[in-house]
Chains A and B, each alone.
Chain A
Amino acid sequence: MKDRKVVCRCEDLTEEDIIKAIEEGYDDLESLKRYTGATTGPCQGKGCLMHLIRILSQKTGKKPEEIGVTTQRQPVNPVPLYVLAEGEYE
């Protein structure tokens, strides 16, 4: 157990899980994100995105600049529905 390297706490993913997905062919960042679920949990990638990019870079030989980052989506931090419901719209 002590060898397990957890890279995404929200979705409970280890480095091995990510490597397996890359080996299955999900070897671009957008596909890897969706197939593993990494960056889609409560942290929205704040804790795991850099690990994903690092592992992808090590496995594929691509530079981090070539890999890029996933689309950053709003909200920056989780916002409860009752707060949003107080807003006004046109």
Chain B
Amino acid sequence: MSELKVAVIGGGIAGLSAAYFLAKSGAEVEVFEQRYLLYGASGRNSGGLTVQFNDEELIKLALRSLDLYDELQSEVKFNFLLRKDGYLKIANKNDEAKLESEASLLKKFGVKIEILNQNEVKELVPDINTKAFDLAYYFSKGGTVFPWPVIWGLARGCKALGVKVYDYTPATVVVENGSVKGVQTLDGLHKADFVINAAGAWSNEVSKSAGVELDNKIFKENICVTESLRPYLDPYIFDVSNNAYLSQSMRGEIVGGVVGREIDQIDKKGELDPLIRYAKFATNLIPKLKGLSVLRQWVGVYDLGKNGKPVIGFTKVKGFVQLNGFGRHGMSLGLAAGEKVAEMVLKK
């Protein structure tokens, strides 16, 4: 069909999703990943899936993403290790207004958020310390996904549609007379009608190479895993007041951390302070976890649009498209955002 050529910079969830949907409609797509797939935030997050956002656009993307997880994992024939066993937001009283407004906004979209009392939470998570929180907002259709197979599955789906996925291939944008010409890699120029910037924490630099100001904020977050237990903990738990979270992956590990902080320069050095804060949070919330050992801690970096929202859409440079700035929620938003950008490009 069309001769449409698209280059995607960044082999994470958003970029691969865009590549997949573009290729499905007949576009010729190349994906450029600077390191290995999973090097960025798509390979370093804890896999929480929810629609509990205080913003209509985000809710729409998150709802669509949940459907896409189901559709795509059968389409690309890859098990995403996805469990829709619920997403639980807990908080102390001070944050009641925040959770209330989120819940009432979600109601507009027909999404049911259940407000649970301590006993109902205990039914969901039998060993939870009910003194560790005052409020609980539960989205039963959220859950936990293992991020790695999502990326492998998408990459496989892309390749089956003829997409070229290049790893260890950094790329910059080439612009001529206000329009993109393609991307430049060490082996030369790859021509493209559209270049999609899905480079996560590296999006600012990619955008700069196109001469477009982006100014996303960069964050650094420490996450850790423990030894594996048999399936035990159903919902993903996010503590709004302590800014900390934990869940159990399909491999049985307890995965968790504390929310990251803004940094000036990308740095991936693990830090002890967040690990101590997490250990205090986890052992207070579920005291039975205290004997469990932490095997490994790592750092992920992610970007957030400067106004606190993802950056999705066309720019002043013709053919240069932003698909970044998802903050902590790339896994919840990225699939639908990729699909949306693919539609925008195809319509142009």
Residues of A within 8 A of B (CB): 28, 30-31, 34-35, 37, 40-42, 44, 71, 73-75, 78-85, 87-90
Contact = CB atoms under 8 A, between A and B. Distances in A.
Interface residues on B, range: 35 or more
Given A30-B35, A74-B272, A89-B273, 14 more contacts: A34-B38, A41-B295, A78-B227, A78-B293, A78-B295, A81-B282, A81-B293, A83-B279, A84-B275, A84-B279, A85-B279, A87-B276, A89-B272, A90-B273
B270 A80 contact: no
Nearest to A30: B36
B283 A82 contact: yes
Interface stretch (B63-71, B91-99, B284-292): B284-292
Interface string B292-305: 11111110000000
Contact of A35 (B152, B167, B296, B298): B152
Contacts of A82: 279, 283, 290-291
Nearest to B297: A74
Given A31-B37, A81-B283, A82-B283, A87 B295 contact: no
B289 A42 contact: no
Interface string B137-149: 0000000000010
B290 A79 contact: no
Does more than half of chain A's interface fall in helix, strand or loop, or is it mixed?
loop
Contacts of A88: 276
Most buried by B among A81, A83, A87, A89: A81
A15 B296 CA distance: 24
A89 B277 contact: yes
B12 interface: no
Contact of A81 (B37, B38, B274, B279): B279
Contacts of B290: 80-82, 85
Contact of A73 (B35, B251, B274, B296): B296
A87 B283 contact: no
B325 interface: no
11 contacts: A35-B148, A37-B251, A44-B295, A71-B298, A74-B272, A75-B294, A80-B292, A81-B293, A81-B294, A85-B283, A87-B279
Nearest to A39: B296
Contacts of B280: 85
B276 A89 contact: yes
Contacts of A84: 275-276, 278-279, 294
A28 B226 CA distance: 26
B39 interface: yes
Contacts of A89: 272-274, 276-277
B327 interface: no
B43 interface: yes
Contacts of A83: 279
Contacts of A75: 294, 296-297
A15 to B, nearest CB: 22
B272 A87 contact: yes
B157 to A, nearest CB: 14
Nearest to A88: B276
Contact of B226 (A31, A81, A85, A87): A81
Nearest to A26: B152
B270 to A, nearest CB: 5
A58 B275 CA distance: 38
A85 B272 CA distance: 11
Given A44-B295, A79-B293, A31 B279 contact: no
